[in-house]
Every structure is written in C-alpha cells, then in structure tokens.
Amino acid sequence: MAENWNRTALLVIDMQVLTYLLTFQCHNVFGEIEDSLSLSLQKDFIEDWSPVALKGAKEIVPNVIKAVEVARQRGILIVWVVREHDPLGRDVEVFRRHEYGPGKVGPASKGSVGAELVDGLVIKEEDYKLVKTRFSAFFATNLHSVLQGTEINSLVVTGIQTPNCIRQTVFDAVALDYQHVTVIVDATAAATPDVHRANMFDMKNVGVATPILKEWSESKA
C-alpha cells in the first residue's frame, strides 16, 4: 500500500447520530494525491436511542477519530460524506419513504439531531462536506468533479456501513479509475462481523487495499 498524501482524500461516511446505514489532500508513497472519505458517522446511525442505529457502530468511532487526526497531520483532504434528507422524504429511496412526512422525523432529516455528526468528529474550514441521498457518495453528487479539481487520485474510506454506503462508494471509485482505493478495516463497520468480512473480501478482490488503522497510520508516503 503506497500512497501520495498530497493526492489522497479521506472519506468519512455517514458518521451521524442516526446510523442505520453505519455503515485526506496528501502525497502517498506512489507520489499520487490521496483523498480521505469519511462515510456517515451521524447520530441517527450510531446512537443507541436511534431506531436505525447500526449495532457495533460506536465501536469504530475512536478509530475514525484517529484516522481523521492522522489525515490532518499528513495534510490529506478530508471529505465528510453525510446523509441529509428532505423532512417530507421527497429525496429518499422509495423503500424508506414511509418513514418521512408531516409529523414524522425520518432518519437524517435535514436539521435534526440525528443528522449531526457523532461527538468527537468536527468538520473544519479546510475540509469538504458532501451531502448525499443514496448509498454511494458518487451518485448524483459533485464528488468526482471536486476530487478531479484537486487532483486527487487515491481514496481512503472510513465509516458505515460496509455492505451499503462503503461498498457502493468503493465500487464506484474503482469504476472511475481512482488509482488507489483503501478501506480501513477497523474504521468501518457492518451489522455483523460476517457481513463485514464478506464485503471486505469482495472489495479486496477488485484491488482495494484493506489495512487496519495501525498499518495505515504507520505507512510512509
């Protein structure tokens, strides 16, 4: 695993209080730009009081926090990928639309507590926040153009959950020919360890690197 930290981004995905989905710019050792994607660590996806919380999501929060710290030290672009939905559900997948509407607060409704990032994760001025309404961070968003505009060609992915938002984002990144795609194994999560391992196996088979946090943190550019 060799990455150019100046051409890398860290994606932090769906690390929100809501969490039913629980699912850096720097030069890497290949001399390329790597980007860090942090997927949806939002309260609705993580906190115990949420009806859509992912079991085990809380356990990865410290590792996601550490991954963000390492990314900042390396000068990696951090992209915070979050779900924020219209309170009436007009931009939600059909299979979940019944959870939204007048008098209801659906998962990750814009402005709700559940759409907030979990404690310990803070978006800073130099970071980039991306709002998505589907599993993939690339679907119907400007993520690809933002990454191209900053000459990012490598992605590091954290967040939840592995078979949904993580997997679809990763496979889209592979299809879009990002040179290096990394998923940090212990900074991502699924409903069960078996589901997590099976999806990691699939992603590894298409050339995705799957280090643990310690390995990634100690890797050299």
The secondary structure of the chain, three-state, reads CCCEECCEEEEEEEEEEECCCCCCCEEECCCCEEEEEEEEEEEEEECCCCCCCCCCHHHHHHHHHHHHHHHHHHCCEEEEEEECECCCCCCCCHHHHHHCCCCCCCCCECCCHHHCECCCCCCCCCCEEEEECCCCCCCCCCHHHHHHHCCCCEEEEEEECHHHHHHHHHHHHHHCCCCEEEEEEEEEECCCHHHHHHHHHHHHCCCCECCCHHHHHHCCC
Average pLDDT over residues 203-220: 97
Point out the least confidently predicted range of 28-42, 47-61, 70-84, 136-150: 28-42
The CB density around residue 159, as the number of other CB atoms within 10 Å, is: 38
N residues, the chain: 221
Nearest Cα neighbor of 24 from 37, 39, 42, 41 is: 37
pLDDT band for position 18 (cuts 50, 70, 90): low
User: Is the per-residue pLDDT at 21 higher than 80?
Assistant: no
Q: Which residues is 156 bridged to in the sheet?
A: 10, 182
Q: pLDDT tens for residues 22-57?
A: 333 333 333 445 566 665 555 555 555 445 556 667
Q: Which residues is 117 bridged to in the sheet?
A: 16, 42
Rounded Cα distance between 35 and 39, Å, is 13
Instruction: Answer with the residue of higher pLDDT: 48 or 5.
Output: 5
Residue 189: predicted pLDDT: 93
Q: pLDDT tens for residues 82-133?
A: 999 999 999 999 999 999 999 998 888 999 888 889 889 999 999 999 999 9
Average pLDDT over residues 205-213: 98
Residue 115: predicted pLDDT: 86
Residue 66: predicted pLDDT: 98
Point out the least confidently predicted range of 6-20, 129-143, 189-203: 6-20
Half-sphere exposure for 49 (CA within 13 Å, toward CB): 5
Residue 56: predicted pLDDT: 66
Instruction: Identify the structural domains of the chain with CATH numbers, from first to last.
Output: 4-218 (3.40.50.850)
Rounded Cα distance between 149 and 14, Å, is 23
Structure tokens at 105: 């607060």
Strands 26-28 and 180-189 come out as unpaired
Residue 38: predicted pLDDT: 65
Q: pLDDT tens for residues 151-204?
A: 999 999 999 999 999 999 999 999 999 999 999 999 999 989 999 999 999 999
